[in-house]
């Protein structure tokens, strides 16, 4: 009975959620399309030991938070920035380049996603 009640409450809660229109990214959506190559370059540099572009794209606010792939977390730019430096330094400059295939991209309000 508890499981059924939990499911009903979950469905009820979800049905009350506001849906936001998500529009697929078109060639005319220049802000996201212009950003993606810069993001790809920042990824390629990050995995060869250079976090400079990555950090330029990152939020530098006091509420910036990361959950690191190497473990742990940091909150606030004063902790997040040095963590990016450390994480990037764990890679060696191998000349690796990131290759990205975007299966789906979209924009909703001021948020773009892939």
Tell if the pTM clears 0.75, that is, is over it. no
**8 A C-beta contact, residue 96 and residue 47:** yes
> The domain containing residue 55 runs over which residues?
26-91
More confident residue, 30 or 52: 52
How confident is the prediction for the chain on average, in pLDDT? Answer: 78
Query: Rg (Cα) of the chain, in Å, rounded?
Result: 19
Q: Bigger pLDDT: 62 or 8?
A: 62
Q: In the predicted model, is pLDDT for residue 62 greater than 70?
A: yes
On whether residue 15 sits in a domain, the answer given is: no
Residue 76 domain flag: yes
CB atoms inside a 10 Å sphere around CB 73: 11
What's the pLDDT tens digit per position in 71-81? 889 999 999 99
Q: Is 110 a residue whose pLDDT tops 70?
A: yes
Residue 109 lies in a domain: no
**Structural domain contains residue 16:** no
Residue 17 has pLDDT above 60, yes or no: no
What is the mean pLDDT of the segment spanning 92-105?
86
Task: Tell me whether strands 73-75 and 65-67 are parallel, antiparallel or unpaired.
Answer: antiparallel
């Amino acid at each position: 009975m508890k499981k059924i009640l939990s499911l009903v409450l979950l469905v009820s809660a979800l049905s009350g959620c506001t849906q936001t229109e998500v529009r697929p990214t078109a060639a005319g959506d220049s802000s996201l399309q212009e950003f993606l190559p810069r993001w790809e370059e920042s990824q390629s540099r990050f995995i060869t030991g250079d976090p400079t572009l990555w950090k330029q794209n990152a939020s530098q606010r006091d509420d910036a938070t990361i959950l690191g792939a190497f473990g742990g977390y940091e909150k606030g730019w004063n902790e997040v920035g040095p963590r990016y430096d450390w994480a990037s330094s764990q890679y060696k400059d191998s000349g690796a380049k990131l290759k990205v295939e975007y299966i789906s991209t979209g924009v909703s309000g001021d948020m773009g996603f892939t």
